Amino acid sequence: MELSPDVLKSFAAAFAIGAGAFVPPLAIGWLAGKAMEAIGRNPEAAPKIQTAMILATAFAEAIAIYALVVALIIKFV
């Protein structure tokens, strides 16, 4: 049985959005856990740690948005 290009595009788009929806939450959870450990060890550095954590979280969320864009490009182009 041969798969049509439309079916392959759908599988590729599903894989792209699946990876983009699975990996960033793991990264954000790991990042938050490490930030909490760092704040627990050095509470005086909390503002610097929090700023860096929020910036890194935004970058991790951007990966999910990029995955969505890639999935849409694969599906409709």
Residue in the block written with tokens 């990876």: 19
- Domain regions of the chain by residue span: 5-76
pLDDT at 5: 87
Architecture of domain 5-76: Up-down Bundle (1.20)
For residue 68, with 0-12 CB atoms within 10 Å meaning exposed, 13-18 middle and 19 or more buried, which class applies? middle
pLDDT at 15: 93
pLDDT at 11: 92
* Predicted TM-score (pTM) of this structure: 0.76
Give the residue-averaged pLDDT of 3-23.
90
